[in-house]
Structure 1
Amino acid sequence: MNTLGYAILSALGRKSYSGYELGKYLENVWPAKHSQIYPMLTKMEEKGFLVHEIVEQVGRPNKKIYSITEKGTEALKKWIAKSPSEQIHRDEFLIKVYSSWLLGEENSAKLVHDRIAKLDESIASLSDKITEMEQMEELETTSKDFGRYLLFSRKFRLAKEEKDWCQWVLGLLKNKKVNFTVFCLAFTGRFNLLLDGLPWIALI
């Protein structure tokens, strides 16, 4: 079973989902197309990792609701205990940024502004989810919602950090050049401040 299969099990470990709902959940952890999800669900059910039941709907096609089995839970536990493989990160935006020297200032700035707009949407959505969870009195680390809270908090922080980076890029585009002398002086100042706060033994 590949990583998509385990991502599906991680979702079903919390609650039962339809194939469509799984697709929405996976957007947060392991994005996949429905053309990938449904064949995987069939394969996993054949191997006994999950089961489904038919839910009848009035005026709509009936839908399948999938649930994890004991065998699926054990497989997920064993997989989680292993160290993850090296992270794979694919982002079309980064390829375009890498080749931004071909775009010119105006089009490069538009590329970055478009990214900021998407980040703002993501930040707002994640903030709502995090706020909703933080309204609880407390959250046990053994709760099924604990991992969800960690995931959303990480994505929120990464989105905020990337937005700051985008603003930095816009500043560079506006200045039309990068002054590395200024960068080196700023870095040296920060590094000296860091050293001032460290015990001398830590510098050996």
Structure 2
Amino acid sequence: MNSLGYALLSMLVRKSCTGYELKQLLEVFWNAKHSQIYPLLSKLEEDEFVTYVHVEQTGKPDKKIYSITDKGRSLLQKWISNPPAPPVARDEFLIKAYAISLADVETGISLFQERLALYEEKLAKRKVEIGLMEKEYGEKLEDIKSNVFGRYILFKRKLLQEQEEINWCKWVLSYLEKEVKTNRIMS
């Protein structure tokens, strides 16, 4: 079983989902493609870690709604007690930031403005999502035994990361914009 399989089982602890819904829920910590999710769901079903209900639909393709089985829950509980692998971080933007001294200042400003806009948009969406969670689940979100607690703490973590990314972009932009002003004065 790979980490994505455990991620899918983890999503299903909270509620039964379609493959499409699972992809949306995974967004918080995993960038999985449909081509990865659906074959893995079939394998999980074959191994009896999940089961599904076939739902016929009119005017659109039928769908499967997956649920975790007791066997899947047991597997997930055992997995949770093992130490996690070191995190994998790949971010092309950070590589470009590392080599920014090779770019002209305007290119640097453009890169960081785009990153800033991206994270401001993410932050706004995350605040809405957290607000909806707080409205729907209230005090249940702070109950560590609640099946929504894990989702809530991950969304709060992402919110803090997005806020910090915004702060960092603004900090870098202050240096880049200072360089533009210095160059204008000298021209």
Give yes or no for TM over 0.5: yes
Q: In the alignment, which residue of structure 2 is the partner of 1:191?
A: none
- Alignment RMSD: 1.4
Counterpart amino acid of 2:114?
D
The counterpart of 2:175, out of the listed 172, 176, 196, is 172
Kindly indicate whether the alpha-carbon contact (under 8 Å) linking 1:18 and 1:63 is maintained by their aligned counterparts in 2: yes
Q: In the alignment, which residue of structure 2 is the partner of 1:58?
A: 58
Alignment of 1:14-33 (within 5 A): 14-33=14-33
Kindly indicate whether the alpha-carbon contact (under 8 Å) linking 1:12 and 1:68 is maintained by their aligned counterparts in 2: yes
Deviation at 1:51, TM superposition (A): 1.1
- 2:134 matches 1:134: yes
Distance between the aligned counterparts of 2:26 and 2:126, measured in 1? 15
Distance between the aligned counterparts of 1:20 and 1:103, measured in 2? 40
Distance between the aligned counterparts of 1:87 and 1:130, measured in 2? 24
TM-score normalised over the length of structure 2: 0.90
Alignment of 1:90-169 (within 5 A): 90-135=90-135, 136-139=137-140, 140-169=143-172
What percent of counterpart residues are identical?
49
Distance between the aligned counterparts of 1:69 and 1:49, measured in 2? 5
Deviation at 1:84, TM superposition (A): 1.0
Max radius of gyration: which structure?
1
Counterpart amino acid of 1:167?
K
Deviation at 1:152, TM superposition (A): 0.7
Aligned pair count reads 177
Distance between the aligned counterparts of 2:109 and 2:57, measured in 1? 48
Q: Find the residue that maps to 1:13 and give its secondary structure.
A: helix
Q: In the alignment, which residue of structure 1 is the partner of 2:38?
A: 38
Deviation at 1:69, TM superposition (A): 0.6
TM-score normalised over the length of structure 1: 0.83
Counterpart amino acid of 1:159?
E
Deviation at 1:98, TM superposition (A): 1.5
Q: In the alignment, which residue of structure 2 is the partner of 1:83?
A: 83
CA deviation map 1:142-177 (0-9, x unaligned) = 111111110111100111011100001011112339
Distance between the aligned counterparts of 1:43 and 1:141, measured in 2? 30
Deviation at 1:137, TM superposition (A): 4.3
Deviation at 1:46, TM superposition (A): 1.1
Deviation at 1:128, TM superposition (A): 1.2
Kindly indicate whether the alpha-carbon contact (under 8 Å) linking 1:7 and 1:29 is maintained by their aligned counterparts in 2: no
Counterpart amino acid of 1:149?
Y
Poorly superposed stretches of 4+, deviation over 4 Å: none
Q: Find the residue that maps to 2:51 and give its secondary structure.
A: strand
- Ranges in structure 1 where 5+ consecutive residues have no aligned partner: 178-204
CA deviation map 1:104-137 (0-9, x unaligned) = 1111111111111111111111111222233354
